[in-house]
Amino acid sequence: MNFLWGLLPIFVFCQVCSGEYKRVCYVESWARYRPSRVRFTPENIDVRLCTHILFAFATLDDTGVRIKADDDGDDPSMYKRFTDLKKRNPRLKTMLSVGGWSMGSALFHKAVETDSSRSTGAQNIVKFLRSHNFDGIDIDWEFPGDRGSPAGDKHKYTLYLKAIRDAFDKESKSSGRPALLLSAALNPMPSMFDNSYEVPEIARNFDFINLMFYDMHGTWDHVVGHHAPLYPSKNGDTINVDYLVNEWIKKGVQKSKLIIGVPFYGRTFTLADASKSNVGDKITGAGVKGPLTGDAGSLSYQEICLLMKSGVPVRRLVHQRVPYIVDGNRWTGFDDAKSLSEKMGYIKKHGFGGAMVWSIDQDDFNGICGGETYPLLKAMNRALGTGIIG
On whether residue 278 sits in a domain, the answer given is: no
CATH number at residue 168: 3.20.20.80
On whether residue 295 sits in a domain, the answer given is: no
Q: For a pLDDT cut of 90, what percent of the chain falls above it?
A: 92
Q: What's the pLDDT at 142?
A: 87
On whether residue 87 sits in a domain, the answer given is: yes
Q: What global pTM score does this model have? A: 0.94
Question: How far does CA 192 lie from the centroid of its chain?
Answer: 18
Q: What's the pLDDT at 387?
A: 57
Q: What's the pLDDT at 148?
A: 87
Write the DSSP symbol of residue 337. H
On whether residue 226 sits in a domain, the answer given is: yes
In contact, 214 and 228? CB cutoff 8 Å: yes
4, pLDDT greater than 70: no
When pLDDT is cut at 50, 70 and 90, the band that residue 386 belongs to is confident
Q: What's the pLDDT at 389?
A: 43
DSSP string, 133-200: T--EEEEE-S-TTSTT--TTHHHHHHHHHHHHHHHHHHHHHHH-SPPPEEEEEE---THHHHHT--TT
pLDDT tens figures, 149-197: 999 999 999 999 999 999 999 999 999 999 999 999 999 999 999 999 9
Mean pLDDT across 328-347: 98
3-state secondary structure of 222: coil
Q: What's the pLDDT at 16?
A: 37
Domain hosting residue 235, numbered range: 21-264+335-384
Question: How far does CA 373 lie from the centroid of its chain?
Answer: 20
pLDDT tens figures, 74-128: 999 999 999 999 999 999 999 999 999 999 999 999 999 999 999 999 999 999 9
With both helix axes pointing from N to C terminus, report the angle between 115-131 and 153-175 in degrees, rounded to the nearest 10.
50
In contact, 42 and 279? CB cutoff 8 Å: no
Write down the catalytic residue from 28, 113, 142, 171: 142
DSSP lists the bridge partners of residue 357 as 25, 262
Mean pLDDT across 206-234: 97
Look up residue 142 and give its amino acid. Answer: E
On whether residue 301 sits in a domain, the answer given is: no
Question: How far does CA 63 lie from the centroid of its chain?
Answer: 27
State the total domains in the chain.
Answer: 1
On whether residue 137 sits in a domain, the answer given is: yes
On whether residue 127 sits in a domain, the answer given is: yes
User: With b meaning 16 or more CB within 10 Å and e meaning fewer, what string describes 95-119?
Assistant: bbbbbbeebbbebbbbbbbeeebbb
- Alpha carbons 153 and 184: distance in angstroms, whole number: 16
In contact, 246 and 345? CB cutoff 8 Å: no
When pLDDT is cut at 50, 70 and 90, the band that residue 14 belongs to is very low
When pLDDT is cut at 50, 70 and 90, the band that residue 20 belongs to is confident
- Catalytic residue flag (residue 142): yes
71, pLDDT greater than 80: yes
On whether residue 320 sits in a domain, the answer given is: no
- Alpha carbons 343 and 231: distance in angstroms, whole number: 10
